[in-house]
Structure 1
């Protein structure tokens, strides 16, 4: 299974015996799989079929599926409900007159806006029900089209996350160089201070002093944090190569990334190294935004 996003959209339409329909399915990110349906009168029998078909193909995401009906003319185009349209236009004119009488101005609705309203189209009860079976046959197709749309988004996510991981890897390499230089400077400064203390007093236990200096050096060392960040980068690249849903695992990994970056900043005690740590946090936040969309 290719890397998949939880974001996608697909539509399928059809017609039979003067009845037209259009399936619209879309999904956004979600903690689990949630399917919401909007079906016209007569389409209720399709609900169990849809709820059985979606989990076969999708694991996570908030999925909305809408089925719209319209009466089709002999030429295959939707039929307007002139009675409804005329009534609404008349009501709009009356509303405009009342508004003007009260010193108000109403913006007239455009034809394009009116045509987006479902009551403009004829979906009367006299339509036959033969469309149900034909629309039912399209359910696997529309779900598969959504899967393909999510795969296409997944390709883009893979490219973005790969680039961000490369950036994180380069930051880690730079941080190691800076850490070595910082340790050398810090060690030299400590030695200078110790020598200054020893010159003015002989009450210092040199062994105890050496132990304390070693403890300070360990506390300031960021090698372990960088090692763990490198391990997380390797783990993230491994997840991107996994076949199957990886969103939850990747989200947990991002928490570990953030923990190490915070520790790196708190222990750096060096302007340049702190700057690297802050850049790490920026990249991690950018990655987390992308990971939220992974299935």
Structure 2
């Protein structure tokens, strides 16, 4: 199957053409990315990214995810929301990320030199979101149609252009994506040090600084009781919402009992979340963008999913 001709994206220095456009209001990603259920998928996508030795080494050596885990997570989430809901700011956020990654380089666990902007590594970081969404949707949402899955992939490619990923570095169709994905699983993925850290249930983690001062103090007081349960839940969702073939490639066990628990959890989520008002269902950046698009007549009222 031939790859469709796509418009060129900007070069790494921000020159070479018009800014790529983020996904349109009313698209699949406008529903998924800002929905609170998207938070449940993020750990699986992150673990799949850092299971690549080059990506894992970059995060291990250059990220503050150990010393500032909550701040790192908040900044990543804010950036992700901009890619989809940022409008004109989306492309600038993509350029900022590329500038940020220019100095990230070193040697991975297999003794290979890496640079964060090496096309195959940079593209893999973005590519992981599609198989995780493809798998997790069947638990957390109503099943997608084939047309919706194709639209999801097309919109994922458009976000890749926002990030500066060249068209030739990502498979152009869903049919081309799966052989590429399986080859990376077979040739590259392993339980890197960062994967092991993300799945650990016996590590220290400071309480998040959330909400007003009384809530933060209460959370700090209860944290010794909350932390072990939080870490077990994070591991459960990270492994469970990761595609089974990725689990196998990394060597992550998953039992039939855990699968039953995940299916029960997913049924509860599918019932409860669509009933929430928009102020509780969507994250703040998404709510503001959706409100603005609706006022401009660019976003129809969505039916609950």
Q: How would you bin the TM-score normalised by the shorter chain?
A: under 0.3
* TM-score for the superposition, normalised by structure 1: 0.21
Larger radius of gyration: 1
Relative CO higher for 1 or 2, CA cutoff 8 Å, sep ≥ 6? Answer: 2
* TM-score for the superposition, normalised by structure 2: 0.20
Task: Considering fraction of residues, name the structure with more strand.
Answer: 1
